[in-house]
Structure 1
């Protein structure tokens, strides 16, 4: 189905821009001279420099990942510790109020 759909389009393109059956690969001396200009000399990145750069990049990325992981763990543990401190403070307040109530009752019994 797709081949029937695309075939008129391909035929129309072929009739508008016919391509030759073969292409010759020849060049003149002028074109060859332009092509033969030496390329700029690039200093190759050696295995040592590339390896060192890769190691430093990987170490930096791993260090950053560990830093943010530890920072998040610190934040979570700090929130849990703060929550425990508040619950301990509430318990101490309840015990304190209970002891005050007992002391008041004991003082009333001594007056009688």
Structure 2
């Protein structure tokens, strides 16, 4: 692909005649070569043992499941804590309401007892 890129000057010459256009397009502008000296100095890369699709997939699945499970556990734990606090608050509120009703009923009974004594 890089060999077909034409500079503006080459484009002008390429469109001058059809035969030169074919020659410019087929000839590479730059060749990639390496000398024998450079190839001799190159050391081969160390051979790596492939991980394998099964082991990699199993490890990824276990890691993902563990992380998702831990996230869900902490989410549920936090929701449980919040709901427990709300329930405790409601119980205390209900206890205070029952206490108020109890004192109100006591005062009514005392007033009723006083009215009966007067009669």
Question: In structure 2, the residue corresponding to 1:40 is in which secondary structure?
Answer: coil
Match of 1:79 in 2: 85
- When the two structures are superposed, what TM-score results if normalisation uses the length of structure 2? 0.65
The answer to which structure, 1 or 2, has the higher relative contact order (CA under 8 A, 6+ apart) is 2
Correspondent of 1:109 among 112, 115, 118: 115
Alignment RMSD, CA only?
Answer: 1.9
Matches within 5 A, 1:56-67: 56-67=62-73
Matches within 5 A, 1:39-78: 39-78=45-84
Q: Which runs of 5+ in 2 are unaligned?
A: 1-27
- When the two structures are superposed, what TM-score results if normalisation uses the length of structure 1? 0.68
Deviations 1:68-112 (A, max 9, x none): 220232123113202211221121111111121022113313433
Alpha-carbon distance between aligned partners in 2 of 1:84 and 1:65, rounded to the nearest angstrom: 29
Larger Cα-atom Rg: 2
Match of 2:38 in 1: 31
Q: Which runs of 5+ in 1 are unaligned?
A: 1-20
Question: In structure 1, the residue corresponding to 2:84 is in which secondary structure?
Answer: helix
Moved over 4 A (4+): none
